[in-house]
Amino acid sequence: MEPKLVETLTGWRRHLHAHPELSLQERNTAAFVCDRLKELGIPFEAGVGGNGVVATLTRGASNRSVGLRADMDALPILEATGLPYASSHSGVMHACGHDGHTTSLLGAAALLAADPSWNGTVRLIFQPGEEGYGGAEAMLKDGVLERFPMERVFAYHNWPGLEAGTIAVHDGPVMAGGMRIHIVLDGRASHAGMPHLSHDPVVATGHVIVALQSIVARNVDPLESAVVTIGMVQAGTAPNQVPAQAALHGTARFFRPAVEKLLDESIHRVVEGIAATMGVKAEIDLSDRVPATVNTSAEATLAAEAAAEAGLTVRRDLAPAMTSEDFSHFLLKRPGAFLWVGNGPVESGTGLHNPRYNFNDAILPSAATALAAAAKRALREGV
């Protein structure tokens, strides 16, 4: 990649990092993408599935087509990096690197636009709402695959802990499926000094948190993979009151539908049983479900060979992760592959979703090249 393009991409990425927007609120981010596409002379359509943008590059007479996708949304996290281009929006941060993913796809667009060696159509999909807000489903419901036909589809995620710029391609599962856990326990409030007059949802919450861990430990086959995590607990407004209500929020992760079903049934059984024991009422909502991200074999091989052909270091030996990605919805509709691009060492808690995380600008050339290479190879190979 030419040094001038690297410099340009770095500037774009840092601008996006400084101006993050939460899921389904990516209006300015989408506008930035549209402005850059105009500069590149690439036609696009905005407002696909909400704030989504789809650009189209066509060259030659081939009727072959391929899609490349990047996510655009940030997280409700207070940034603690101290960087000169840190978030200017308090409590909102690109803590997962979607600023880098968006920029990488713009970089792939620039590479493809300047490359006369390929024929066919490349769809560039800039997706909103990946962080558990149904962005992929919204674009699919808005007819993204019908309005912008593509035979295959590819995407990537930066991966802290993997050597910077290394491309990892999995055979089969890449990331787990997931669902959000929302539990509300309704009890009876009282003075803290007279707890016998209450039905205490806080004590019930403690039992629920501990008991939920028994699901993976004692209900899921040890040879399967599953996670149940409660990440948020909300209860009370005064230290000398037993509150009337407590809420718990978290996620469950799995690879197989049978394990998803087991987790669903077990969470209901555990929570409802404890609620009955403690004399409180339970409302359980298991929503925002995402299937596992699973690469198709031919497309995984294609992406790995394309990256290697482009001079990038490729690994095929990494285990899948229990994180989730809604690119999985695209892979249920079209064959494709989801790559990891190494972000470099994880130092002092600088992993994904950490307040001190930062996307490594040095991997932008590798990521953009890997996406462009996969697209070109897909267009010249049969499906």
- Mean of the pLDDT values across residues 10-28? 98
Neighbours of 153 (CB within 10 A): 27
Greater pLDDT, 348 or 138: 138
CATH code at 3-176+292-380: 3.40.630.10
| Per-residue pLDDT tens digits for 128-156 | 999 989 999 999 999 999 999 999 999 99
The pTM of this model reads 0.92
User: HSE of 37 in the Cβ direction (CA atoms, 13 Å)?
Assistant: 22
- Mean of the pLDDT values across residues 73-96? 97
Chain-centroid distance of CA 235 in Å reads: 29
CB 205 within 8 A of CB 256: no
CATH code at 177-287: 3.30.70.360
Band of pLDDT at residue 350, cut at 50, 70 and 90: confident
- Write out the two tokens for 269: 């059984």
Instruction: Write the CB contacts of 139 (distance below 8 Å, at least 6 apart in sequence).
Output: 48, 49, 50, 52, 125, 127
47 CB burial (10 A radius; 0-12, 13-18, 19+): exposed
Cα distance between residue 21 and residue 184, in whole Å: 28
Residue 334 has pLDDT above 80, yes or no: yes
Residue 349's pLDDT is what? 75
- Write out the two tokens for 11: 């500037």
Return the minimum-mean-pLDDT range out of 52-56, 177-181, 236-240, 345-349: 345-349
| 177-287 has the same fold as 3-176+292-380 | no
Residue 383's pLDDT is what? 57
In the chain, % of residues over pLDDT 90: 97
Residue 348's pLDDT is what? 76
Residue 64 has pLDDT above 90, yes or no: yes
Residue 347's pLDDT is what? 83
Domain residues of the chain, as ranges?
A: 3-176+292-380, 177-287
